[in-house]
Structure 1
Amino acid sequence: MRLIDKGAVAHSSFLALSCVGVIISSTAMAAEPASSTADAETTADTAGRIIVNGQRMEADPGPKITAPLINTPRSIVVVDKQVIKDTGSATLVEALRTVPGITFGAAEGGNPIGDRPFIRGFDSQGSTYLDGVRDIGAQSREVFAVEQIQIVRGSDSTLGGRGSAGGSLNIISKLPRPENFAAGSLTIGNANYKRITGDVNYLLSSNIALRVNGMWHDQDVAERDAIFQKRWGIAPSLSIGINGPTKLTLSYYHLDTEELPDSGIAYRYVCSATVCNAPAGTVYSEPAVGTITTLGGQTGKVDRANFYGLKNRDFRDSKTDQATVRFDHDFGNGIRFRNTSRYSHTSQAYILTQPDDSQGNVIGTSVTAVATNPAAQGGYVWRRSNSRFGYTDSMVNQTDLYGTVETGALRHSFAIGAEFSFEKAERGAYILSDTRTTPRCTAQAIARFNCTSLFTPNPNDPWVNYAGDAADAAVTPVTRGGPETRTINNAKTQAIYAFDSISIGEQIVVNLGARYDSFKSKTTLPVFNGARTAVKRDDGIFNWQAGLIFKPTPNTSLYASYATSATPPNSLLGEGQESNGLGTVSATNSPAAVLAAADALRVERTKSYEVGAKADLFEARLSLTAAVFQTETKNARVTSDANTVTFVGERRVKGVELGFNGTVLPGWTVNGGYTYLDAKIVNGGFTALTAAAVGAQAAQTVLVTSLNTGRPFPQTAKHSFTVWSNYEVLKGLSLGGGAFYTSRVFGGYADNRRASQNSAGVVTVTPATSVILRSVPSYWRFDARVGYKINEQLDLTVNVNNLTNKVYFNQAYTSHYAGMAPGRTALATLNFKY
């Protein structure tokens, strides 16, 4: 029996089936139609033109991208709907596996569950946009209503505002088109995989078009015990004036999800000033999978399928609702106007098991038994509960005036605009007991299923919640923390921006951009000593970018660019992991101390330098790109040698990116690339060690150089390579597949330096004997695809993802555990079109 009050996050499966059923029962279903004749006849140099799998597609990068991609002095990658379809992708994370240089982190500690991409080594969780408008709130995004995904790499706060130190994602929605079609797909696969999508576009009149996208999805996860994912979504949109100079588009998006979140596999070793079971020297602490021998001499196999969570405790439910109104007007003289307004509400509630706790339960801390700690000899995992419930609301209005003008010999492609937004996020935690005593895995904790076997965990254990850790504690339901325990974040943004691509003759293009943001935020902390403290910030942020493009030929370009970004305190409103947030200010201090600490925070600033080359070959059917860049932050938040917050930390990324996309030969398409990232923490500040009290001597704090200094960025692969290719063997029969490589990714670092003092108060720092690098090893993954066109209305595709059933990890968390990737997944998809 699940004793959990999840709140109002439940959904209706009947409604999901009804929505999808309406789409399926339309006159017919179809795969995405080819581009219209007008699209196909557009010249290769049209602004926004991209080539994907040899097809000419309109890219709509938005008003702020003021030139064709070949004339844009930065690295921009586009994942088109055809690539999404061919790779069998259902989520944003799956679709982005075709792009090198992007890794993913996820929920740990205060970071909520949701998409957390790292671009060029920097966390871009808060730099995701939907149709050019910031899409804040922790979410796991679907692709059923996605036209394409644009990845802009490099510092780009000029484009989107706060954050964006390493790059950003812009998701383009499927919106009405001036034609009639119906499309859809039915997918089944192993691990009980079932998916239905539908896409209907209908011209209600010559100038009004309606489009409805829908999805229903239900699956387990291959080679992972107990895990399941269920979701449904619907996205209707209506365009009035679709063929005229003035157009109004109304759109709505709803996504409802239910899942058992995956708790991954615990790391082998721990190391701190109080407990360290790692071998001497510098060692990798990798996830404990495969054959493991504990310090107590127990040897067993940790299977990749092991799930350490609890089916009757763990859950995750989420909802996303977005309503958008967009007004476009073409003045007819090269000038256009656009205004976009959006209201967005996202909510989620979950309890996630975080396996182990850095106390040495996995491998153990002793070769002999310890009566008070059954886990001393190893072989146990603590089922720590991470929980969260909350919501994020945002209202955004964005206005753009853009187009082309000529001033003498100069041709300007410009955009000017303004943005106003209001955002609010509230979060709390569930009240439950999971034995947070030391040691964690006492006999009672094991008996209450708060600890489980490393080798044979049972997700069906009959766990119940107790009112506390005492032996006589009563059983009680899991409940939400009251309003007084919750944290509330509010933010207001007012911004103006301008961009200009200036063509000087046929060979020189100058790209300029600037943006100013007024970002005001407030965090209301939980009640402490009968009172709540509100912490406020008001930051003015200026960012700019400049680039120079030289075009040796009309289809090639060489460029150099410079761009900045700024990440103010509280940039994510508590909906992501940010070391510089107002939430890091402790509510347990006095109000004066809290306000002083908040006032000491500063905006972190990043700069990017990039040079590169682009070429469109074979009448723009194949695109090649190359870039060399450096991104640096010189005022990151760190701990100073006085044990205070200071902004002198330095991070630097040097890298190379190569990309290819399009048609090599008729019937043969490829896309992918290679990324090299030399990402280093140049200055990580200091770490505080505590020397325990001795006699009359009080405890003392001593500062030592941070172990992070000189280390690679966490969640960043030095080498990554992707290639996806499709070849038409015979008319109607195509073979395809992909190869994906990611080098070692680090999660975090730890050592066993410690401080002590004598009776005279003299402090001694004992150097580390062990240093652990929590990380996941490199891996190759291979996918395969076979497609057969049955007739003009039907085609069948079979995808096998992770063809070799490779055991690998797709997320390296800071500490405790890593995310296990799914095993071999075979999917058969029947696509309909009309």
Structure 2
Amino acid sequence: MKRSSTAAQPGRAPAFLALACVGFIASAPIAHAAGPDTAPADASDDDKAAQDRTAQDRNEQIIVTGERGEELQGPKATARVVNTPRSVVVLPAQVIEQTGSASLADALRTVPGITFGAAEGGNPIGDRPFIRGFDSQGSTFVDGVRDVAAQTREVFATEQVQIVRGSDSTLGGRGSAGGSINIISKLPQETDFIRATGSYGTDDYKRVTLDVNRKLTDTIGFRVAAMWHDQDFAERDAIWARRWGVAPSLTLGLGTDTRLTLSYYYLESHELPDSGIPFLYTIGNAPGTGEIWTTPALGDITTAGGTKGHVSRDTFYGLKSRDFRDATTNQVTMRVEHDFGTVTLRNTSRFTRNDQSYIFLLPDDSQGNVYGTAATNPTTGPAGTRGDVLTGGYVWRRGNTRYGYTDALTNQTDLYGTFDTGSVKHSFAVGAEFSFEKARRGAFVSASGSTVSPRCNAATIARYYCTSLFNPNPNDPWVNYSSDTSTVQTPIVKGLPSSETQNEAETMSVYGFDSITLMPSLILNLGLRYDHFKSKVTPPIVAPATTSFSLERTDDLINWQAGLVFKPTANTSLYASYATAATPPNSLLGEGQEPNSLGTTNTAAALALLDSLKVEKTKSYEVGAKANLFDEQLALSVAAFQTDTDNARTTGPDGNIEFIGSRRIRGIEATFNGNITKWLTVFGGYTHLDPKIVDGGFTALTAPAVVVGGATIQPAKTVLVQSVTTGRQATQTAKDSFTLWADVKPIERLSFGGGAFYSGRQFGGYADNRSATQNAAGVATVNPATKVLSRTIPGYWRFDARMSYKVTDNIDLSVNVNNLTNETYFTQVYSSHYASIAPGRSAFATVGVKF
């Protein structure tokens, strides 16, 4: 580890020459509805015979995970899914389309065991999926290349999504404690086609997509996917989203031994972001004793002052004149491949830039202003003069702001294929990765009442810093002032370059995998990876300093995986596996919730902490069974697992930062994907988790000073107590989840689809009211908690429906209805302040044309 304090020109991005990479994923083979049949190395004669289907069957059926149409696509896919000793879900394009998913978050909600986290900074609005109880924002990949930036991803250029569950830093590098998500892009194919769709629906929903593939010559293929999207949101007042994107790609040498693919992806988004509903109680004003669950303040509410009112599901606390989110993604990729018989050499290079700016309304309850802290408001003294509101019924319109960009330059080289050593068959992959990532961010200069306490009084209400819990008006004529107390109006501007924070990371990696068929019924799967991860942060310049400094750290990560597969038959398997993951400090580069940052000061204590930082370590144990039934048309799997995490950063018993935090996630999973019959297709599964915080560290209490006769006998003292989180359910994770999407075709041209989705209760955070006192001798006493507050959102069922009719061979019509029963439910929960609410019932019709 190295640290440094160096002078730097504020705002200047250092030049970089780093090649980067990440080609990945998984032992998860890819399944497409079109493409040549290529049986993988571990395929038996029975496997190969199962590929003899007619073209008509292919067109009529969804090709499932077990189908080998593209089994070897992806360098690290050294085995078929049925022979991969870990839990893998492949979400095909057909299910994404049928469910009406327009974003990655929409698509992933059809996969059991995935929840979404909320935040207040870093990534409060973008994709933040949790897999098996672990934040997987930094473990999201596009065609095997890490995509760490905070963003909301589209699906118009997505062929399928692969989810690998369990610790998998061996596959993807740093992070990946609970699993990884790999988005497979639409690239040129050997068959010409045009597919266009146009959708229109309730709440002014409009969407147009285009997917064109052309074989320009025998060996040159071109494909372009494009999208335009504009919508409001059902029963969410004022919220809207607009975006457009295009993704062209060109392959030279299509169908030959040597191929060059060039691709570009562009997405531009503009929206009024949805901030959800604040929680009703804080630990300071929650009535009652014992275990108290507080939920978002929705429905009929009575405040501490006795005011009664109703908060409807369409209530929005934001401001049209202030709040916004703008984002763009630019991604350029070049891939070169050459086949040497059964071995392929591939090199992938990519440059990505993500820009994001937002002012995000966070409905803040931190001072008890929602429920209230008193039965009456003060009428005398300074509080009376200010007109402080303590009786509740108000929400502080806290404005979280950010602007910035994330750049990533990546390069990956892979050598993969098959060979035999006597009777033993090997399907291998070895490779190296080099990457450079840089994230720079700042904040807008905007006044929103953050310096006023208590938050809500006559002046802050008059300035619309606080608004009614029951009847907020997003059209309030809010203006920005130079400060919370100034009367001088001023535009919202970006902070100075010297106030910006920059994070950089360099990674060098080597890895190897081998799926070893010891005998037809026994396969050994091995993987090993080494990562050299160097991270640097350049904090803002804080007066009176005039020059910046940088803090650096280097970590060397070694991860491995091993699994054994026993095959009773060619299309079934039993397996056991072990895998590790490592999450180094500053893994997210400040683009998400960074629990183990490098810090932003260079004091002696801060530098000592920088020296002592540890890598968070995770290990997973898993056993399971898989089967491909009905001539490979239905893939089934079941798994039981345990994931343990150690070295989590937390407060130690002496008040210092230590790495003693730990979590344990146990669970079972079952998935199904494919055709039960030619007229019934299903996708989904069930996940049960026991997500437990084994050790949450310690919490500091302050024992007030002892004063006798005006003299301080004992100064205030800090007392450490075990964190309230210890032994409780891990946050932002549901114990039980179930998803089912089914499509029924009663006659040749007509189909009916339906979805049932369940997610159990989730917790955002915990608090208690323990306190500490001391006597004149300095002996401290901890007063036990009389109440423990859990911020939570309840479980829910959601049902969707779809009907589709094929008018001609080239034209089809469909109607989707989402949230069929108009269920009121919450999709994300933050550790404090608020939870995100889902839209109400909506419907849209789609016309699809293909040639």
TM-score range, shorter chain: over 0.9
Equivalent residue for 2:733? Answer: 716
Superposed CA offset, 1:601-647 (max 9, x none):
11000000000000000111111100000000122111100111111
Aligned with 1:197 (options 201, 209, 212): 209
> Is the 2:33–2:62 contact (alpha carbons within 8 Å) kept by the matching residues of 1?
no
Give the match's secondary structure for 1:375: coil
> Is the 1:535–1:594 contact (alpha carbons within 8 Å) kept by the matching residues of 2?
no
Letter in 2 for 1:763: A
Deviation at residue 37 of structure 1 after TM alignment: 7.0
Map 1:650-665 to 2 at 5 A: 650-665=662-677
Does 2:147 match 1:131? no
> Is the 2:581–2:618 contact (alpha carbons within 8 Å) kept by the matching residues of 1?
yes
Cα distance in structure 2, aligned partners of 1:47 and 1:749: 56
Change (3 A) 1:174 1:65: same
Equivalent residue for 1:592? Answer: 604
Letter in 2 for 1:303: S
Does 2:328 match 1:319? yes
Change (3 A) 1:218 1:298: same
Letter in 2 for 1:306: T
Equivalent residue for 2:8? Answer: none
Equivalent residue for 1:14? Answer: none
Change (3 A) 1:456 1:175: same
> Is the 1:494–1:517 contact (alpha carbons within 8 Å) kept by the matching residues of 2?
yes
Cα distance in structure 2, aligned partners of 1:469 and 1:139: 31
Equivalent residue for 2:18? Answer: none
Equivalent residue for 1:831? Answer: 848
Cα distance in structure 2, aligned partners of 1:686 and 1:33: 50
Equivalent residue for 2:834? Answer: 817
> Is the 1:267–1:818 contact (alpha carbons within 8 Å) kept by the matching residues of 2?
yes
Cα distance in structure 1, aligned partners of 2:239 and 2:168: 37
Aligned with 2:463 (options 425, 434, 448): 448
Map 1:700-715 to 2 at 5 A: 700-715=717-732
Cα distance in structure 2, aligned partners of 1:178 and 1:62: 18
> Is the 2:38–2:72 contact (alpha carbons within 8 Å) kept by the matching residues of 1?
no
Cα distance in structure 1, aligned partners of 2:639 and 2:696: 28
Aligned with 1:806 (options 800, 823, 837): 823
Cα distance in structure 1, aligned partners of 2:643 and 2:37: 41
Equivalent residue for 2:28? Answer: none
Deviation at residue 206 of structure 1 after TM alignment: 0.6
Superposed CA offset, 1:101-139 (max 9, x none):
000013314444310000000000000011011112111
Equivalent residue for 1:740? Answer: 757
Letter in 1 for 2:81: L
Does 2:637 match 1:625? yes
Does 2:593 match 1:577? yes
> Is the 1:127–1:134 contact (alpha carbons within 8 Å) kept by the matching residues of 2?
yes
Does 2:413 match 1:399? yes
Aligned with 1:338 (options 346, 350, 372): 346
Let me know the Cα RMSD of the aligned residues. 2.1
Superposed CA offset, 1:315-373 (max 9, x none):
000000000000111112x1111110000000100000110232111111112223436
Q: Once structures 1 and 2 are overlaid, which stretch shifts more, 362-371 or 562-571?
A: 362-371
Cα distance in structure 1, aligned partners of 2:389 and 2:256: 71
Superposed CA offset, 1:392-412 (max 9, x none):
001000000000000011100
Change (3 A) 1:48 1:68: farther
> Is the 1:44–1:620 contact (alpha carbons within 8 Å) kept by the matching residues of 2?
no
Does 2:797 match 1:780? yes
Equivalent residue for 2:16? Answer: none
Deviation at residue 59 of structure 1 after TM alignment: 5.4
> Is the 1:122–1:166 contact (alpha carbons within 8 Å) kept by the matching residues of 2?
yes
Q: Once structures 1 and 2 are overlaid, which stretch shifts more, 219-228 or 109-118?
A: 109-118
Which TM-score applies when normalising by structure 1? Answer: 0.93
Aligned with 1:460 (options 475, 480, 488): 475
Cα distance in structure 1, aligned partners of 2:559 and 2:38: 35
Change (3 A) 1:110 1:792: closer
Aligned with 2:160 (options 124, 145, 148): 148
Deviation at residue 701 of structure 1 after TM alignment: 1.1
Letter in 2 for 1:711: R
Cα distance in structure 2, aligned partners of 1:567 and 1:576: 14
Map 1:164-175 to 2 at 5 A: 164-175=176-187
Q: Once structures 1 and 2 are overlaid, which stretch shifts more, 594-603 or 541-550?
A: 594-603
Cα distance in structure 2, aligned partners of 1:453 and 1:38: 62
Map 1:24-103 to 2 at 5 A: 35-36=34-35, 45=47, 53=62, 56=67, 57-58=69-70, 62-103=74-115
Map 1:268-283 to 2 at 5 A: 268-271=280-283, 275-283=284-292
Equivalent residue for 2:299? Answer: 290
Map 1:365-444 to 2 at 5 A: 365-371=373-379, 372=383, 374-436=388-450, 437-444=452-459
> Is the 1:155–1:564 contact (alpha carbons within 8 Å) kept by the matching residues of 2?
yes
Does 2:221 match 1:209? yes
Letter in 2 for 1:359: Q
Give the match's secondary structure for 1:368: coil
Letter in 2 for 1:445: T
Does 2:750 match 1:728? no
Does 2:568 match 1:552? yes
Deviation at residue 375 of structure 1 after TM alignment: 3.2
Equivalent residue for 1:756? Answer: 773
Equivalent residue for 1:12? Answer: none
Deviation at residue 281 of structure 1 after TM alignment: 1.2
Cα distance in structure 2, aligned partners of 1:513 and 1:76: 16
Letter in 1 for 2:748: K
Change (3 A) 1:500 1:60: closer
Equivalent residue for 2:314? Answer: 305
Letter in 2 for 1:317: D
Cα distance in structure 2, aligned partners of 1:295 and 1:46: 71
Superposed CA offset, 1:670-723 (max 9, x none):
111000000000011100112233442332211010001001110100000000
Equivalent residue for 1:350? Answer: 358
Aligned length: 795
Deviation at residue 229 of structure 1 after TM alignment: 0.2
Change (3 A) 1:822 1:360: same
Superposed CA offset, 1:577-607 (max 9, x none):
021022xx243xx533332221121100000
Cα distance in structure 2, aligned partners of 1:497 and 1:47: 33
> Is the 1:45–1:68 contact (alpha carbons within 8 Å) kept by the matching residues of 2?
no
> Is the 2:800–2:818 contact (alpha carbons within 8 Å) kept by the matching residues of 1?
yes
Unaligned residue ranges in structure 1 (runs of 5+): 1-6, 8-31
Letter in 2 for 1:368: T
Equivalent residue for 2:551? Answer: 535
Aligned with 1:113 (options 120, 125, 132): 125
Deviation at residue 66 of structure 1 after TM alignment: 0.4
Give the match's secondary structure for 1:495: strand
> Is the 1:48–1:60 contact (alpha carbons within 8 Å) kept by the matching residues of 2?
no
Change (3 A) 1:324 1:600: same
Change (3 A) 1:715 1:47: farther
> Is the 2:195–2:210 contact (alpha carbons within 8 Å) kept by the matching residues of 1?
yes
Equivalent residue for 2:511? Answer: 497
> Is the 1:600–1:645 contact (alpha carbons within 8 Å) kept by the matching residues of 2?
no
> Is the 2:464–2:476 contact (alpha carbons within 8 Å) kept by the matching residues of 1?
yes
Map 1:447-526 to 2 at 5 A: 447-470=462-485, 472-526=486-540
Letter in 2 for 1:64: K
Change (3 A) 1:159 1:47: farther
Cα distance in structure 2, aligned partners of 1:67 and 1:538: 34
Deviation at residue 63 of structure 1 after TM alignment: 1.0
Deviation at residue 748 of structure 1 after TM alignment: 0.5
Superposed CA offset, 1:397-444 (max 9, x none):
000000000001110000000000001000111111111221000111
Q: Once structures 1 and 2 are overlaid, which stretch shifts more, 550-559 or 370-379?
A: 370-379
Give the match's secondary structure for 2:389: helix
Give the match's secondary structure for 2:666: strand
Unaligned residue ranges in structure 2 (runs of 5+): 1-10, 12-30
Letter in 1 for 2:764: G
